[in-house]
Structure 1
Amino acid sequence: MADYQDRPATTTIIEKRGGGGTMVAVLLLVVVVAIAAFFLISSQSRKDSAVESAATQVGQAASDVGDAAKDAAGAAKGE
């Protein structure tokens, strides 16, 4: 026990470092990227749906024109 009393007094400095701010920033970045991805995918889906609808309408119009041409050809032949 005498050894303990003969040691010189020392001061220990404890530094506190922040780490919570970085974690919050990373979490916020992940949320922003997820929201942006959702809107991009949603936007692309709407575009695909619009293109599909337009293609269907064009196909129906072509079918109607074909039917009209058949009717006109039949009328011209006297059927």
Structure 2
Amino acid sequence: MTDDRVTQTPHTTIIERRGGGGGVLIGIAVLLAVIVGAYFLLIRNDSEVAKNNAITSAAKSVESTSDKAGAAISGDSK
């Protein structure tokens, strides 16, 4: 809340404004919360991508191994 104090003399008017810094502090706190939230959201997204890449790599490895096993079985039956 802003308090105004007006002092008048015959030739000069002085207006002093005093405001609490609460609005600025709240703004900084909200900005910090948004930055921290965005950081953790990006970290979570990166870990999901890494997990998906690991699963894809494992599936390709299993596919390659099964192809080799199938070729070995087909070669033995002939």
Q: Distance in 2 between matches of 1:17 and 1:25?
A: 18
RMSD: 2.0
One-letter amino acid matched to 2:47 = R
Aligned position for 1:53: 54
Aligned position for 1:36: 37
| Count of matched residue pairs | 69
Task: Select the structure with the greater relative contact order (CA < 8 A; seq sep ≥ 6).
Answer: 2
After TM superposition, the structure 1 = structure 2 runs for residues 1-79 of structure 1, keeping only pairs within 5 Å, are 14=15, 16-77=17-78
In structure 2, stretches of 5+ residues that fail to align are: 1-9
In structure 1, stretches of 5+ residues that fail to align are: 1-8
SS in 2 for 1:16: strand
Give 1 or 2 for the bigger CA radius of gyration: 1
Q: What TM-score does the superposition give when structure 1 sets the normalisation length?
A: 0.76
Shift of 1:18: 1.6
Q: What TM-score does the superposition give when structure 2 sets the normalisation length?
A: 0.77
Shift of 1:17: 3.9
Shift of 1:15: 5.7
Q: Distance in 2 between matches of 1:17 and 1:76?
A: 94
Q: How much identity, in percent, do the aligned residues show?
A: 25
